Structure 1
């Protein structure tokens, strides 16, 4: 196959998008010998898709701590001796996927994600991606040892910024061409086969022919109209946590070409984020700095002074992606996370950033006086919660069963009375990350037509793969899914290109 494009308008493979999934697809296709063009709608300084904004946590299966140490040669023996690391087997990962998605995840896609996760992590390391232990968000120190929990002990070095910096560096090393300010508008077809992409580049319409096309340009979370139509009218009010350029273009192009819709189109990944966060992702302040994910140690109240979720139902990894929409349902789409000084030192680092919005007072009455809420109901709810807290051993490293009795909703774990000042209130709203609806994708990353056959020449990866996440999401699975299915789509596209060029 050609080392580079054969002429100014033809490539072996065109990859649409430049996030984690897209670049993994481009790199794996290049490994197979394909000439690759990457198309990115955004300008260069806003490249990287949603991946640029993540905190880098990535969920994969591993047998034991030795598997993790193979990814991080800089961890010393002395450091390793202070770490308590539970195993996270493929079966545990699969069970987590099925449990948090109410058993709706496509079994074949889920097995691929789980079973290819560790080999893909090693592959990423081989292409220059660096990993580190996720001390800040996934461990607690106890008696001189760091106890990890939740199946998510690893993140990419320097968060999503570091991940994308490494992948773009590798793209450059491999000589893969990227066009910025280049929006894919339409898939070209010859009969039932995709043969290229119509691109709008700096005001000019171009036809780019390709032996195969990989779509990895995200979902529709940045398009208000599509959010309203697919998820619900209230979602127009949601903050867009990531890139403003994920407006469903790839999904629309694929559906117009005959692809089958698949997955949870009425669902999305959303979180509780700072009420004063930017309305779209700010590329000058990336790194997922506005999220507020220590809520299992809090109680959350709305403006009417009512609690509305079981904050301690599970580790935050398994509830945060569905609790965002619960906040969106509250009056003015706002809630308040309440903490006292017993737990304040345990909160994640995002609570200490200068961007964090919060209120503080030495007594609860003074705290509530600062908030635009029903003060009587707010204080009454806190009092009722305090009286409902049961005895037990408080331990945030496990589901400790220290809960409440006699209130609804209950708090199942990590319930402490809110009684030691000073007290803190962090206002949060809903931020949407990506929508769960996508395309039906086969075992080799190929896009499937409405009649069940493959849409020849078209492959998809990342957020565009439907059927994995339903209503909820195990933390860190998005980056892993992007890498697994990106690598797979690139390989498959290259093999297909070789086949039709013979």
Structure 2
């Protein structure tokens, strides 16, 4: 019998497998995807958000704990577990050396309109390179890896893990880490979560899945139905406004439209519906998918002029281009009269001060609803560009409730040998909203904790001390304590 079974194949699962193996446990990792699609949503990531009190290797200036917490508090609207959130924040300060040990490389700080040179550490080669590095390290350490291995059931004895099932196959282990992702690829579950709106539409029918096609939520649903304590709103997710021409699955970062704060966004009635300049883009990009999802036909249009070009990361598809605003309206299929009225009202309302997209500048609107708080400049310089937007779901926030040992709970009581990490528990920290890189911070932190705790639990079973968790001291917990000292 193996010591630790890890179910999942992304960042959190790999961190758990590596930590469990480093702690001396025998480890098997089950990835539902084929090898060429391994890594879940982690293959589409680029960075993780890191606390630091002074300049550190690839991070400039300082990003102290309290600022990180306030950023998270703002985007979640307070729907977060502060104890677990601060655990993630502190752990984010000291994980990079461990990541490097397992083959992850970081690139120098980014500058410009992304506003993240101070807060986020970027992986050299992106998430795909990170995932590949972790798989290589896991293989070198002797972790057994199986692909095309979708677990569809968990065998429990009360709150204790006994075995996982893949169809008729049964795999026993002394402890288990669940890290199999959310349910964003399950269209029926998304329909159920979002329901039907007042216009008689089923919004989820128009969602694109920015992340992996393999996150169907089978294991999450099984655990909730088996009595595991759940947390989070099933309609909340990392939901980004992406190019409407993006593929149904696995579009990744290149389909995101990053020029929203530099112009205006209209719905299919050619009307504005939210403050495009509310805050820096990394703190607001993940609300725009939900905003577009609330509009008729779940579509929006990001409109900019030539002044914005070069100030944002260009998407994979070029925008619709026109030499005049009326021409752009016609090309986008929007009512020309309403389009021009909306743009003219916005242009007249702009109070242009000193434009600077790297700070919260004083360029704003007056006398128009909704207001634009920052970076408001008239759209008056040809050529003009338009990008059609659809909601792009990256991962869902409904998950399993945990404590700071990453233990799955049943009726409020933590399991002694069943743990969870990554998207399957991110809702403990992310009740709603998002700020760039925090998903990887959560997955890395709780993956490392879950793996170490699972190794301890397996060792206790082998020693005949199952259930005795007093005086347990995991390396992950020690790391976190060191980070706050």
TM-score (norm 2): 0.91
Partner of 1:60: 50
Q: Deviations over 1:154-193 (max 9, x none)?
A: 2111111111111111112112111111111111123431
Give the alignment partner of residue 113 of structure 1, picking from 83, 88, 100: 88
Task: Report whether the alignment pairs 1:427 with 2:418.
Answer: no
Task: Report whether the alignment pairs 1:412 with 2:412.
Answer: no
Partner of 1:289: 254
The whole-number CA distance in structure 2 between the counterparts of 1:341 and 1:414 is 15
Q: Secondary structure of the residue that 2:107 maps to in structure 1?
A: strand
Residue pairs, 1:11-410, within 5 angstroms: 11-54=2-45, 56-65=46-55, 67-69=56-58, 85-135=60-110, 139-140=112-113, 148-149=115-116, 151-200=118-167, 205-232=168-195, 233-281=202-250, 287-350=252-315, 353=316, 356-410=317-371
Please tell me whether the aligned partners of residues 292 and 299 of structure 2 are also in contact (alpha carbons under 8 angstroms): yes
Please tell me whether the aligned partners of residues 182 and 215 of structure 2 are also in contact (alpha carbons under 8 angstroms): yes
The whole-number CA distance in structure 2 between the counterparts of 1:153 and 1:21 is 18
Deviates more, 1:400-409 or 1:186-195: 186-195
The whole-number CA distance in structure 2 between the counterparts of 1:152 and 1:273 is 23
Alignment CA distance shift 1:423-1:359 (3 Å): same
Q: Deviations over 1:176-232 (max 9, x none)?
A: 1111111111111234311121123xxxx2110000110001001110111122233
Q: Secondary structure of the residue that 2:48 maps to in structure 1?
A: coil
The whole-number CA distance in structure 2 between the counterparts of 1:153 and 1:497 is 35
The whole-number CA distance in structure 2 between the counterparts of 1:43 and 1:491 is 27
Please tell me whether the aligned partners of residues 231 and 267 of structure 1 are also in contact (alpha carbons under 8 angstroms): no
The whole-number CA distance in structure 1 between the counterparts of 2:217 and 2:203 is 19
The whole-number CA distance in structure 1 between the counterparts of 2:34 and 2:237 is 26
The whole-number CA distance in structure 2 between the counterparts of 1:249 and 1:482 is 19
The whole-number CA distance in structure 1 between the counterparts of 2:421 and 2:344 is 49
Deviation at 1:151, TM superposition (A): 4.8
Deviation at 1:148, TM superposition (A): 4.9
Deviation at 1:302, TM superposition (A): 1.4
Please tell me whether the aligned partners of residues 206 and 297 of structure 2 are also in contact (alpha carbons under 8 angstroms): no
The whole-number CA distance in structure 2 between the counterparts of 1:456 and 1:258 is 15
Alignment CA distance shift 1:148-1:412 (3 Å): closer
Partner of 2:415: 455
Alignment CA distance shift 1:150-1:250 (3 Å): farther
Q: Secondary structure of the residue that 2:152 maps to in structure 1?
A: strand
The whole-number CA distance in structure 2 between the counterparts of 1:458 and 1:471 is 26
Please tell me whether the aligned partners of residues 260 and 302 of structure 2 are also in contact (alpha carbons under 8 angstroms): yes
Q: Extract unaligned runs of 5+ from structure 1.
A: 1-9, 72-84, 141-146
TM-score (norm 1): 0.88
The whole-number CA distance in structure 2 between the counterparts of 1:231 and 1:12 is 40
Q: Deviations over 1:72-97 (max 9, x none)?
A: xxxxxxxxxxxxx4411111111111
Alignment CA distance shift 1:428-1:150 (3 Å): farther
The whole-number CA distance in structure 2 between the counterparts of 1:217 and 1:459 is 12
Q: Secondary structure of the residue that 1:289 maps to in structure 2?
A: helix
Task: Report whether the alignment pairs 1:496 with 2:457.
Answer: yes
Q: Deviations over 1:308-335 (max 9, x none)?
A: 1101001111111111011122222221
The whole-number CA distance in structure 2 between the counterparts of 1:293 and 1:176 is 39
Q: Extract unaligned runs of 5+ from structure 2.
A: 196-201, 464-485
Deviation at 1:498, TM superposition (A): 0.6
- Equivalent pairs counted in the alignment come to 456
Partner of 2:476: none
Deviates more, 1:36-45 or 1:246-255: 246-255
Q: Secondary structure of the residue that 2:395 maps to in structure 1?
A: strand
Deviation at 1:134, TM superposition (A): 4.9
Please tell me whether the aligned partners of residues 51 and 119 of structure 2 are also in contact (alpha carbons under 8 angstroms): no
Q: Secondary structure of the residue that 1:484 maps to in structure 2?
A: helix
Alignment CA distance shift 1:104-1:319 (3 Å): same
Please tell me whether the aligned partners of residues 215 and 461 of structure 1 are also in contact (alpha carbons under 8 angstroms): yes
| RMSD between superposed Cα atoms in Å | 1.6
Please tell me whether the aligned partners of residues 115 and 282 of structure 2 are also in contact (alpha carbons under 8 angstroms): no
Partner of 1:75: none
Deviates more, 1:374-383 or 1:126-135: 126-135
Runs of 4 or more consecutive aligned structure 1 residues displaced over 6 Å after TM superposition? none
Deviates more, 1:462-471 or 1:404-413: 462-471
